[in-house]
Structure 1
Amino acid sequence: MSLKSKLFAGVLALVPALPALAGDISIQAPYARASTMMSKSGAAFMTIVNSGTADDRLVAAASDVAEKVELHTHLADANGVMKMVEVEEGFPIPAGGNRALERGGDHVMFLGLTRPLAQGDLVTVTLTFEKAGEMVVEIPVDLTRDAMGGQMKMGN
């Protein structure tokens, strides 16, 4: 392999590690995982950063890894039981701020996985923002992350 080919291969290997950008929106520390090894559902988590001076909103997500992709959060019902619900209006991303999509809170939900999510795989997700438009993000599958120590956290 020539030096030029080695350098190009090295640069390509770093691409998934770089933050995704769309306008003033960037994605930091994304990862995806399946609920269980045999599960037909999974989720993606990340921090969405808005470095601009205007608020934005994540309004949709899409991926070929699932039959349906929705924006979800966890809410307590009248009995204090946590339930996962779709957030049809999306997630606001404040100007100069960020929104954490994390386990037990807000997240991108994959329903009806079309393939297993294996450690180290990449999942292509298109995030749609009200102002910044569409952003394609390559999200690594990480099945080794701690499951929050068994505690549920509320989203922003």
Structure 2
Amino acid sequence: MNRRTALAGVVALTTGLALAGCSSSDGEPELKVTGAFMPQPVSDMAAGFLVVKNSGGASDRLTSVTSSISDNVTIHETKNQTMRMVTSFDVPAGGELDLERGGNHIMFMKLKQQPKQGDKVSVQLHFEKADPIKVDLPVMETTHNPKKQ
């Protein structure tokens, strides 16, 4: 092997390692939750709303939500004014998952206690790739809708 071939091999290996290093940081979801709230429930059911922003270079999926306020917390999609339980929601790379009134949301069934306006309800969001995120949902008035303010 001559010097030029050896040098080309070293350059190729170094470039490949540098690119692999870049892709590992860009290839991870980077999730942040904003706008979280729960309208004060009027029965033993409640809904939760929030936005999951993903500034990372890889998509992720919200797969479940847990909370001490209910043993039955599910995620629901709303299409054509009909809601149904789903197993996950996409959180696109460089995008967001918007759980909002009239749309996709978190559903709490058989509440163990009745949260009141001013309380906070803790939930944990579970994802396919990212670590779980703990979020406190402030309990707002029953009709609260930040999209209409």
Q: TM-score range with shorter-chain normalisation?
A: 0.7 to 0.9
8 Å contact 1:124–1:138 — kept in the other structure? yes
Distance 1:68 1:135, change over 3 A: same
Which structure shows the higher helix fraction?
Answer: 2
Q: Which residue number in structure 2 is paired with residue 40 of structure 1? A: 44
2:92 matched residue in structure 1: 94
Secondary structure in 2 matching 1:66: coil
Cα deviation 1:122-147 (Å, max 9, x = unaligned): 10101001111211111111125149
Q: Does structure 1 conserve the Cα–Cα contact (< 8 Å) formed by 2:40 and 2:140?
A: no
Partner residue, 1:130: 128
Q: Root-mean-square deviation (CA), in Å?
A: 1.8
In structure 1, the partner of 2:84 is: 85
Structure-2 separation of matches of 1:35 and 1:73: 19
Residue 19 of structure 1 corresponds to which residue in structure 2?
none
Identity of aligned residues (%): 36
> 4+ runs of 1 displaced by more than 6 Å?
none
1:133 counterpart SS class: coil
Q: Which amino acid aligns with 2:35?
A: A
C-alpha distance after superposition, 1:72-124 (max 9, x if no partner): 11123xxxxx3221011x11001011111001111111011111120010101
User: In structure 1, how many angstroms separate the alpha carbons of the residues matched to 2:137 and 2:32?
Assistant: 13
Unaligned runs of 5+ in 2: 1-28
Amino acid at match of 2:128: E
Shift of 1:44: 0.8
Number of equivalent positions: 119
The alignment partner of 2:132 has SS state of strand
Q: Which structure is larger by alpha-carbon Rg, 1 or 2? A: 2
Equivalent residue letter for 1:110: F
Distance 1:148 1:47, change over 3 A: closer
Comparing both structures, which one devotes a greater share of its residues to strand?
Answer: 1
Q: Per the alignment, in what secondary structure is the counterpart of residue 110 of structure 2?
A: strand
Stretches of structure 1 that go unaligned for 5 or more consecutive residues are 1-22, 77-81, 150-156
CA distance in 2, matches of 1:60, 1:148: 24
Partner SS for 1:52: coil
Aligned pair partner of 2:31 in 14, 21, 25: 25
CA 1:133–1:147: 2 relative to 1, 3 Å:
closer
